[in-house]
Chains A and B, each alone.
Chain A
Amino acid sequence: QVQLQESGPGLVKPSDTLSLTCAVSGHSISSNNWWGWIRQPPGKGLEWIGYIYYSGSTYYNPSLKSRVTMSVDTSKNQFSLRLSSVTAVDTAVYYCARTHCSITSCYIDYWGQGTLVTVSS
């Protein structure tokens, strides 16, 4: 059974960098899947942030691209998110997830439980 677990600070100061890690268990991160991040501000909808392949290839949401960096550590079977210059609007529950993409499909089949990150001084 594939499991994903987010970890990182729950409180980040404005203008700082938000850093989260997602530990994957029950499945190799070096498989034919994309590993991504999605966020959800309190009371609002889902926003796709981006995903990364184990080779290091990335795709980001154009609206966040200038502030987002994703990385993967195959030796630890985990991947990470960094979001720079955060403001209050970046306060959200952040989910890590596995995305399965093929010629005919692209869908998120496994999600972490989510972690709330609050941006505040």
Chain B
Amino acid sequence: QSALTQPPSVSGSPGQSVTISCTGTSSDVGSYNRVSWYQQPPGTAPKLMIYEVSSRPSGVPDRFSGSKSGNTASLTISGLQAEDEADYYCSSYTSSSTLVFGGGTQLTVL
């Protein structure tokens, strides 16, 4: 299985919105709504931010939202804050009953 494709980096100023894309295939993202997103600040374990494409776990701000179209899922962070600076990873269930991660995107808050 190949890793899902994410942009290496994105950036935005406080208050702005940024969107991170995650492109897979018809064997993973395109066939299932089992797409999730994780936030990983430096030196820490990842944290679940979005599951089932667009659902937020309790405690995750509603500034974080997810969507999907075809083989591409997206994470949008609105009202960007300094604390949002971190690496972000998407993940999808696959037709082989495995999971696959994206390569990760480094978010910089300018």
Contacts and interface: CB of A to CB of B under 8 A. Distances in A.
Contacts of B103: 45
A114 B32 CA distance: 29
Contact of A104 (B52, B87, B89, B102): B52
A107 B32 CA distance: 12
B1 A61 contact: yes
Nearest to B48: A109
Interface residues of A, number: 26
Interface stretch (A15-23, A46-54, A71-79, A84-92): A46-54
Interface string B20-64: 000000000000111010101000011110011001010000000
A11 interface: no
Interface in A85-121: 95, 99, 101, 104-109, 111-114
Contacts of A101: 34, 93
A62 interface: yes
Given A48-B101, A107-B91, 17 more contacts: A46-B89, A47-B101, A48-B99, A59-B96, A59-B98, A60-B98, A62-B98, A95-B45, A105-B34, A105-B52, A105-B55, A106-B36, A106-B99, A107-B34, A107-B48, A108-B48, A109-B48
